[in-house]
Amino acid sequence: MHRLLFVVVFTSCLCASVFRLEAHTLSETGQPRATVVVAADAPAPVRHAADELRYFLSRVTGTDFSIRHTRSPEGTNLLVGPKAARLREPGFTTDDLGEEGIILRSLGHDVILAGGAPRGTLYAVFTFLEDYVGCHWWTPAASHIPRQPNLKVPKLDFRYVPRLEYRDMSFLHTAEADFSVRNKLNGHHHRLFYDNSFNNIGQDSSRGGRKYAYIRSDKWGSHGWWTLIEPEVYFKAHPEWFALINGKRTHVSPRYPISNLCLTNESMRAELTKNARLALRWNPHATVISIAQPDDAGPPNRCQCEACAVVEQEGNPSELVVRFVNAVAADLQEQFPDVAVSTLAYHYSQKPPKQTRPHPNVLVRLSSIKCSFSRPMTDKRNSQFRADLEGWSKMCDRLYLWDYPINFGYPLPHPNLRVYAPNLRYYTEHNVKGMFCEAGAFAELAELRAWLLARLMWNPNADTNHLIEIFANGYYGPAGPHIVDYIQLTHNAVEATDDFLGLGSRPEAEFLSLETLLHGWEHVQTAAAAVANDPVLARRVEVTQLPIMFAFLHRWNELREAAKDAGVRWPMGSSQQELHAAIVTLASAHGINLKGVSSPIPF
């Protein structure tokens, strides 16, 4: 027995000793034991990465770290960027890392934090700060920066190249530049550029800029070809340039006020290409231009002329779209070889063409708009979308996904968090290279969704439940476990009922039963009580009540009768009007605009 105890104690001491030998001491009793090293002539993103590293290490330890351009003879050198890395490893290279791959590597007492240009070194530093120091940036206004006067990190040997080259989302709070770069978001909706309030006039070089920069707004960034042949300018003189619908040339689709074009008309294409060249000359920062169909409100939604119909019959409606966009891309390539041409595979153009591959400069964005988000894309329910995606993946070198992570129709509970990771793994396994996650003015748990999606777009293999717990405990504090209970409740409910859960799932969805709503309300109320004495955390928690309140508002009579029959306590006040007023007050306190939101009592 004593011999066994000795072995256990000795082994424990040995493990602790090995850890001490293998760990880098960055700070001890509030004194720096490491130096940030960056080359004097390093590019702007690398210098910014070094500044961020110094700043956050100083906050964590309560001491001032310094930045040098040469290695310090004492302590640990944190070598930021490829040039600094070569001070320790002369043959260091980032040639196989692309623009964003990262290396975190220990060499003796030193640590290399470096990556590809322009964003890789930034992402290496933020990976180090997040995964090894414990920093998290929940929103632009909320973060967790730990206090550790004695800071040690383990020996590192980590290399990673993200599968997705483009990671974009349009939650209202995620555009801010520092939040974007710290969470590895690099898309059009992230303010990694300079703006003079009229034009986006250049990339924010210190933060690495955006992967692709459109000309200005969503007018130029999605449903784009009508912006280049505007009906107000061209329809009267050239009706033949516009779609023939039900036997008549028209400048508006029957149920949507944006025109479609006759894509086989060569003179129209020449004018559109001329206008695209002008737009790109006026906006030299732009690296992508959208040549894509207008939004879709149902057929008839595109040109029915004989020439267009013949091409469609050869290989699906997308055949005509791809041939047209390919021709424009070829026209632009000589003058703008580095500009990508973006188009949509959306509604009528979702099925891939049978004959024509997209031009190498064409970027296809496939929409998941018709999918069920209660099941992963690998489920048979989403088999049509899966067939379309796999068809595009075999012929398109630059395939992106336009995804829908929230409920766009109603501000209700929307339990789809469990499909984020398996869907992203499926996408990246099938040649998808970019993601755009569209979000509206309000979404249930918007802060959690955005942070979680950012993590998973960077690494689809990360553990969703673990990430949710990290965020909930960090952002909501003591209320976190109760918010997690609410999340698990609603997700278990939708799995039990097997609701479709589309992007506009309705209040009558089966999973929104009285039992689920009452238990959900209990969880968010318990969460609120746990942080009642902390005004900041209390404010974060109270907004989680809104989706449940909306569900009760929409189904007031039905649910109240059900509660009466079941003999359970009714939690929503004495009248529907009272609940409506409470929703308005809570939404207003959080800056949420309810105008136009579907409601039995208008907002």
Residue 533 above 80 pLDDT? yes
Query: Which one of 137-146, 185-194, 202-211, 590-599 scores highest in mean pLDDT?
Result: 137-146
How many domains does the chain contain in total? 3
Look over the chain and give the mean of its residue pLDDT values, rounded to a whole number: 92
Is the CA virtual torsion 385, 389, 392, 397 positive or negative? positive
Q: Output the pLDDT for position 10.
A: 32
- DSSP state at residue 160: E
238 domain residue, yes or no? yes
493 domain residue, yes or no? yes
What is the rounded average pLDDT of the residues 440-450? 94
pLDDT bucket at 3, cuts 50 / 70 / 90? very low
In one letter, which amino acid is 193?
F
373 domain residue, yes or no? no
Residue 61 above 80 pLDDT? yes
205 burial (CB, 10 Å; 0-12 / 13-18 / 19+) is middle
Q: Output the pLDDT for position 6.
A: 32
- 359 in the same domain as 218: yes
Ramachandran area for residue 200 (φ above 0: left; ψ -120 to 50: alpha; else beta): beta
Quote the tokens at residue 116.
């590809």
Quote the tokens at residue 2.
């004593």
pLDDT bucket at 233, cuts 50 / 70 / 90? very high
- 117 in the same domain as 249: no
- 331 in the same domain as 247: yes
- 248 in the same domain as 352: yes
- 142 in the same domain as 29: yes
Position with higher pLDDT, 582 vs 223: 582
Q: Are strands 151-153 and 24-28 parallel, antiparallel or unpaired?
A: antiparallel
Q: Output the pLDDT for position 259.
A: 74
What is the rounded average pLDDT of the residues 153-162? 97
What is the rounded average pLDDT of the residues 312-325? 94
Give kind and range of the element (H or E) at residue 107. strand 102-107
- 138 in the same domain as 48: yes
pLDDT bucket at 18, cuts 50 / 70 / 90? very low
Rounded CA gap, 495 and 507, in Å? 17
- 582 in the same domain as 483: yes
Residue 236 above 70 pLDDT? yes
Last residue of a domain, one of 363, 397, 419: 363
pLDDT bucket at 285, cuts 50 / 70 / 90? confident
- 150 in the same domain as 28: yes
Is the CA virtual torsion 493, 497, 499, 504 positive or negative? negative
221 domain residue, yes or no? yes
Cα–Cα distances in angstroms (integers) from residue 108 to residues 21, 24, 28, 32, 323, in the given order: 11, 9, 19, 18, 57
Q: Output the pLDDT for position 163.
A: 97
- 142 in the same domain as 46: yes
447 domain residue, yes or no? no
In tens, the pLDDT along 576-602 reads 999 999 999 999 999 999 988 989 999
CATH number, domain with residue 96: 3.30.379.10
State the maximum Cα–Cα separation within the chain, in Å, rounded to a whole number. 99
User: The domain containing residue 323 runs over which residues?
Assistant: 214-363
The whole-angstrom distance between residue 437's C-alpha and the CA centroid of its chain comes to 5
Residue 197 above 80 pLDDT? no
In tens, the pLDDT along 544-572 reads 999 999 999 999 999 999 999 999 999 99
Position with higher pLDDT, 216 vs 101: 101
Q: Output the pLDDT for position 219.
A: 62
Residue 194 above 90 pLDDT? no
Q: Output the pLDDT for position 5.
A: 34
Position with higher pLDDT, 592 vs 14: 592
- 145 in the same domain as 246: no
Last residue of a domain, one of 363, 384, 405: 363
- 252 in the same domain as 153: no
Q: Output the pLDDT for position 199.
A: 54
Q: Output the pLDDT for position 16.
A: 35
pLDDT bucket at 2, cuts 50 / 70 / 90? very low
Radius of gyration of the CA atoms of the chain, in A: 27
Q: Output the pLDDT for position 227.
A: 85
Residue 13 above 50 pLDDT? no
Q: What is the pTM of this model?
A: 0.94
Q: ω before 413 within 30° of 0 (cis)?
A: no
- Residue 364: strand, helix, or coil: strand
pLDDT bucket at 301, cuts 50 / 70 / 90? confident
What is the rounded average pLDDT of the residues 470-490? 98
Q: Output the pLDDT for position 252.
A: 79
180 domain residue, yes or no? no
Quote the tokens at residue 206.
């210190």
In tens, the pLDDT along 88-139 reads 999 999 999 999 999 999 999 999 999 999 999 999 999 999 999 999 999 9
498 domain residue, yes or no? yes
389 domain residue, yes or no? no
What is the rounded average pLDDT of the residues 341-367? 96
- 227 in the same domain as 89: no
Last residue of a domain, one of 345, 363, 381: 363
Rounded CA gap, 424 and 402, in Å? 12
